[in-house]
Amino acid sequence: MKAPSTIATFPIEDKQPSPAKSFAQVLTIDIGGSSVKVLANGQTEPRKRRSGKKLTPAKMVEIVQELAEGWDYDAISIGYPGLVGNQGPSSEPGNLGPGWVGFDFSSAFGLPVRIMNDAAMQALGSYEGGRMLFLGLGTGVGSALITEDVILTLELGHLPYKRGETLGESLGRQGLRRLGKTAWRRILMDVAPALMKAFLADSVVIGGGNAKKLKELPPGVRQSHNLTAFRGGSRLWNTGAAPRA
């Protein structure tokens, strides 16, 4: 597989920056609206703690250090549930506490840190070649496109869908609860092939916490494994691809 470079990721305070630098032991942090999950290279079972609207970045660092106790790691990857720019998070997440924009993650952890949008990190972990569209079904709808050697973070959840709702409102957690599984599944069966055609994608990958609620998938659509975010975090440091803004 050709390692994609990551248009939505970058080194933050990397103390020895180099495009070719790799790390054997990466701790990957997957920050979600309901939980923070961590997994280090060489470990098989993620550890997690509830997140929620009071989770600040400083509290996240404290939680991660507790969760990762006993694990060896020399670099950190973070999947962030929001927009990411050259200097880190560029918008505050609506379902977490404040203070993410401008926070110095590398100083807080004392290690090199790279951050990318959480959907993009899952997409990187799911990538098997070609042009791939990723849809992450969780609190909202995350999305990313990998084409050749570039990852592009998307915001497909803002697209209008039906009855004045956006795609994110229909396919996110609240939409699932309001519509029920059957109607929610029908929306995905309708939307995934349409997006596949619109983006000229060779495949669509469905990930996120609610992907497991799907019973069948349209042709060309596959479901990602629940550990793909952590694979993406490891690839972020070890593919040899140079992060670009």
pLDDT of residue 100: 97
Q: How far is CA 155 from CA 81, 103, 104, 160, in A?
A: 11, 23, 25, 12
Tell me: the pLDDT tens digits for 12-54?
A: 334 334 444 556 699 999 998 889 999 999 999 999 999 988 9
Domain 5-121+227-238 matches domain 129-223 at the CATH topology level: yes
CATH homologous superfamily of 5-121+227-238:
ATPase, nucleotide binding domain (3.30.420.40)
Read off the pLDDT of residues 136-191 as tens digits, 9 standing for 90 and up: 998 889 999 998 778 999 999 999 998 889 999 999 999 999 999 999 999 999 99
Average pLDDT, the chain: 87
The radius of gyration of the chain from alpha carbons, rounded to an integer in Å, stands at: 17
CATH number of 129-223: 3.30.420.40
d(CA 26, CA 47): 15
Report, in this order, helix, strand and coil percent for the chain, each rounded to 5. Answer: 30, 25, 45
Please tell me the pTM assigned to this model: 0.84
Structural domain boundaries in the chain: 5-121+227-238, 129-223
Q: Which CB contacts under 8 angstroms, 24+ apart, belong to 59-64? A: 59/97, 60/29, 60/31, 60/36, 61/105, 61/108, 61/109, 63/36, 64/27, 64/29, 64/36, 64/38, 64/109
Alpha-carbon gap, residue 17 to 3, rounded angstroms: 19
Percent of the chain surpassing pLDDT 70: 87
